[in-house]
Amino acid sequence: MCLNRLRARGVEATSALMDAETLFDHRDLWGLDPEPNVGVFELLTPGERATLQSLSAGGNIRLEQERIPWSYALAAGVFLSRPPKRWLGAGA
């Protein structure tokens, strides 16, 4: 899983829209995952692990975050009003 690999490289990554509520709110957007994530993902939070287990238990379902409506993401507070300085380009 990308998030686990990112954290393994020392990146302090915070997930967004990777929770059970988001997953089940968007059942109509589910697809089948041809290459489901299997293994031990020690760097996921308990909530992230539970969501991953729900994906497997549901028959290897997949929810592409790009398909989640902007209105849902905005209401969930996913976007910051101003990005942290480390996101800005050189000289910013």
| Whether the predicted pLDDT of 10 surpasses 90 | yes
Average pLDDT over residues 67-80: 84
Cβ count near 23 (within 10 Å): 20
* 16 contacts 78 by C-beta, under 8 angstroms: yes
pLDDT at 81: 56
Percent share of the chain, pLDDT over 90: 40
pLDDT band of 67, cuts 50, 70, 90: very high
Residue 21: is its pLDDT beyond 60?
yes
Pull the structure tokens for residue 10.
């020392």
- Name the 3-class secondary structure at 23: helix
Type and span of the H or E element at 6: helix 2-8
Tell me the whole-structure pTM to 2 decimals. 0.72
Which residues face 32 on adjacent strands?
61
Query: In this structure, are residues 78 and 50 in contact, taking their beta carbons and an 8 Å threshold?
Result: no
CA gap 12, 47 in Å, rounded: 17
